[in-house]
Structure 1
């Protein structure tokens, strides 16, 4: 029995042993937390990984009709400054002609800018810019002949899906943040 009772006071009174049990438990809990913290902390991504999580691109120097390639998380990102003619052409395509139906409006945040991950959805090759049937802004994968239009939508070939859209936002009129 760790606490004593008296006839006048039926509630147990704490003893020195009770205090030692509580103090030992508290010190043990702090010790366990201190030992586990480095194990949990090492699971956090390091600074280089966090730095690669997003990329900022200056798009002010990209002329209309030009496509810039940047690297994000080890993947090529195609940033296309589309001409009004290209935009008009891709928006005129009926959805029933597309293998993976998607409107151009759903694939861009601003009509003049297309941002896609430059990896073919068939076998992971890197498509060529401004090649194939859509020489003015489309993409062509020479490995197996997949053809993507100026909106990154699959139009011909074995690729099952459109070029993937990375997470991005316009930080300003001249800055694009990917990631």
Structure 2
């Protein structure tokens, strides 16, 4: 009787295919629970990440200010206007042929921040100079874009805060400003509209 009760354990596990923990395809319940748990954790992770990532996207008001379109059809030669781009002033100047000639005559090597007029304008549109209206010294707004404002001794812009003078290509010529007025990214969407940003 003792001999009949003794069964080899390796024989039972090797030949037992009707175990309740295994179905006919060989997938155990434990595997199903693991797959279900990992799937549930993945869905939960996505549910947490989507709002987190979407809150980092720029808001509608920021996107609206990311670019500005300006109609330049009413700006006559020699005239400049002030516009706003990202809450900062922008100067748009329609240069006269004389101003273009004066800017091209300057020896670029003599400039503190050497740039030609062609480098600061678009090909075929050298008469349109578009720059940020912020002095590169301490951030004041230079004069010269408005009607009757002082343009400084070089005919471009003059910063009243510390006396920086810019030429007709908005390049620094005199004063403490270290760099030329910045040219923002822009493109002409038509002959009369420019998109800044």
TM (norm. structure 2) is 0.82
Which residue is 2:5 aligned to? none
Write out aligned runs for 1:113-152 (5 A). 113-129=128-144, 130-135=150-155, 138-152=156-170
CA-to-aligned-CA distance 1:91-143 (integer Å, 9 cap, x gap): 011113311111111111121100000111111110001521134xx100011
Which residue is 2:114 aligned to? 101
Which residue is 2:8 aligned to? none
Moved over 6 A (4+): none
CA distance in 2, matches of 1:82, 1:70: 17
Write out aligned runs for 1:79-98 (5 A). 79-98=92-111
Unaligned stretches of 5+ residues in structure 1: none
Deviation, structure 1 residue 6: 4.4
**2:66 aligned with 1:53:** yes
Cα-Cα RMSD: 1.7
Which residue is 2:77 aligned to? 64
Deviation, structure 1 residue 16: 2.0
TM (norm. structure 1) is 0.90
Query: How many aligned residue pairs are there?
Result: 171
